[in-house]
Amino acid sequence: MSHLRWSTAGESHGPSILALLDGVPAGLPLLASDVDRDLARRQRGYGRGGRMKIEHDVVRIEAGVRGGETLGSPIAMRIENRDFANWQGRMGADPFTTVPDPVTTPRPGHADLAGALKFDRSDLRDVLERASARETAARVAAGAVARRLLAACGISVRSRVLSIGTVRDRSVLDPLEWVPEGGAGDRLEASSLRVLDEAAEEAMRAEILATAHAGDTLGGVLEVVAVGVVTGLGSYTQWDRRLDGRLAQAAMSVQAIKAVEIGEGWSSALERGSAVHDSIGLYDGRYARGTNRAGGLEGGVTNGEPLVLRAAMKPLATLRRPLGSVDMSTHTSAPANTERSDVCAVPAAGVVLEAMVCLTLADALVEKFSGDSLREFLRNLAGYREQLVGR
């Protein structure tokens, strides 16, 4: 059961995208600009499509905040779709004066066909509008609120791109160098592809440009790290309380994400246990690991080390040179539908994954430390930290 509950609503070309977030303690400082910062980060990145030239995402906080502080009641947020103006007569709740031409050729790799069969829709637009990654703007808004709660607890979350296509960024840096604000973190935010190595960035840009000229798309691998996470979030006592499982589900729910690992996941399957597990020692009076191959989680519980999640994003399903499909109205072969789309959205997906990690960690924090107000919440956290020092 979630203690920090949230949901989204809205269609890609509808009037707006909505987010509702419940369970945030009262008294948390929150401004629209805190949310707008992450919304802008989601829109950046080399390889994005024409939609980003239309939209300039900003949030309107409709409920749950007064005078710059949360009230403890549900927080409602709205992000206007500027492109809705170009879709008058084709989108919206009112009956159509003239029924728009239906979309009838599903895209391989997209929710089009499965969604149409599930919901008994003859126009694929009824499916693709909601299945679109435009929905992630609402996730990022909700995640930005969760990020504020994490920051109050001394936790920072940031993502970086490890690879796009076959091009890899092989930079090896301690997360404490690139996750918190300043230094390498600022350089990462200034990168057009959220990478640390400039040579890798140039090679990635060239690969994206070549892929665009071929009418194709590219995926990649992302890393999201949280530092400052307290020991003891999550639980091993029930399957659905294990935090690694909750994080994996959250990450896999993001459009186009096809694989997730915590720490050295896939590579650990090739090694012996002595080369995988992290030795335990006492450092400055606290238990710590000499390495962090576990990625900050053991038995579904955080162990105090940086939390490391990696995810593989497949190439986007909308191709300018479409694959073969079937027209559902005539049952004849036809090219798949094409929509305006990105060539590569891997850097943006990193910001969305940050939001999902923030929301999942915030839920685990609220679960453990409760508190209707931020003051009560932080008091409970401080008491627990004192308990850990005394062990």
Measured distance CA(284)–CA(297) in Å, rounded: 21
Please state the separation of Cα 210 from the chain's center in Å: 27
Report the length, in residues, of the chain: 391
pLDDT of residue 50: 61
Average pLDDT over residues 112-128: 96
Residue 52 has pLDDT above 90, yes or no: no
Q: What percent of the chain has pLDDT over 70?
A: 98
Give the tens place of pLDDT for each residue, 242-277: 999 999 999 999 999 999 999 999 999 999 999 999
Residue 390 has pLDDT above 80, yes or no: no
Strand partners, 66: 69
116, 125 contact by CB (below 8 A) = no
Give the tens place of pLDDT for each residue, 331-340: 999 999 988 7
Q: Which two tokens stand for residue 117?
A: 């069969």
Average pLDDT over residues 331-356: 93
pTM attached to this predicted model = 0.95
Pick 5-389's CATH classification: 3.40.50.720, 3.30.460.80, 3.60.150.10, 1.10.287.3510.
3.60.150.10
Residue 212 has pLDDT above 80, yes or no: yes
Closest CA to 299 of 284, 277, 321: 277
Give the tens place of pLDDT for each residue, 65-84: 999 999 999 999 999 999 88
Give the tens place of pLDDT for each residue, 138-153: 999 999 999 999 999 9
57, 348 contact by CB (below 8 A) = no
228, 154 contact by CB (below 8 A) = yes
pLDDT band, very low/low/confident/very high, at 133 (cuts 50, 70, 90): very high
pLDDT band, very low/low/confident/very high, at 353 (cuts 50, 70, 90): very high
Burial of 368 (0-12, 13-18, 19+ CB in 10 A): middle
Measured distance CA(379)–CA(375) in Å, rounded: 6
Average pLDDT over residues 41-61: 82
107, 328 contact by CB (below 8 A) = no
Those residues with Cβ within 8 angstroms of residue 12's Cβ, 6 or more apart along the chain or in another chain: 81, 128, 129, 130, 132, 134, 135
Residue 391 has pLDDT above 70, yes or no: no
* Domain definitions of the chain by residue range: 5-389
pLDDT of residue 191: 94
Q: What is the mean pLDDT of the chain?
A: 94
Average pLDDT over residues 339-365: 95
The sign of the dihedral angle between the CA atoms of 338, 341, 344, 349 is: negative
Residue 19 has pLDDT above 70, yes or no: yes
Measured distance CA(225)–CA(125) in Å, rounded: 36
pLDDT of residue 175: 94
Average pLDDT over residues 6-20: 96
Residue 345 has pLDDT above 70, yes or no: yes
Tell me the pairing of strands 307-313 and 220-227: antiparallel
Q: What percent of the chain has pLDDT over 90?
A: 87
Average pLDDT over residues 7-19: 96
Residue 54 has pLDDT above 80, yes or no: no
pLDDT band, very low/low/confident/very high, at 89 (cuts 50, 70, 90): confident
Residue 51 has pLDDT above 80, yes or no: no
Give the tens place of pLDDT for each residue, 295-328: 999 999 999 999 999 999 999 998 989 999 999 9
Residue given tokens 């453990």 in the structure block: 368
Amino acid residing at 253: S
